[in-house]
Structure 1
């Protein structure tokens, strides 16, 4: 029973001393990391590729009828996205060729 009060008295002292030392150590660290971050940000080449997802062809509706105008708009949007994706990543989009095949048939 005597050990409990001692440990409870000792713990706040340890925490306070840890907080002080960690605060002192933490102050110079952001300066170093910020200088490193600046050097890394000098290469923004990878940034635009982050949110680029492979474009998916427009979904076909379940019903038999679908407005030709809506279908055409969807196809045009997909083609624009696919071309942008190909420019930025250099990867081919095979669905783009499949759309052209369906139109010719």
Structure 2
């Protein structure tokens, strides 16, 4: 497998996109980030953060306090990736009507040619 494919899989995964987008706004504590990224389980968020941290996109800062506190933020590499992902998301939002129209045309053609 091409090395860049693994990086793309992590950055463009369902939760990777949402986590990067949230962290583009600001840094979050784990519980705050879980609330911000609605629908993600605690386990999936932890796995996603660990993967993004390993790849150098996310910085994890553990504070030696009671109760424990961990903050997550983007690294410069993560900020660059998050900005690119955000640009793609904005582009796709602008193009939804065109995609919907194409799908309708395709479905109409498929219905006519279906046996």
Q: Normalised by the size of structure 1, how large is the TM-score?
A: 0.32
Larger Rg computed on CA atoms:
1
More strand by share: 2
Q: Normalised by the size of structure 2, how large is the TM-score?
A: 0.29
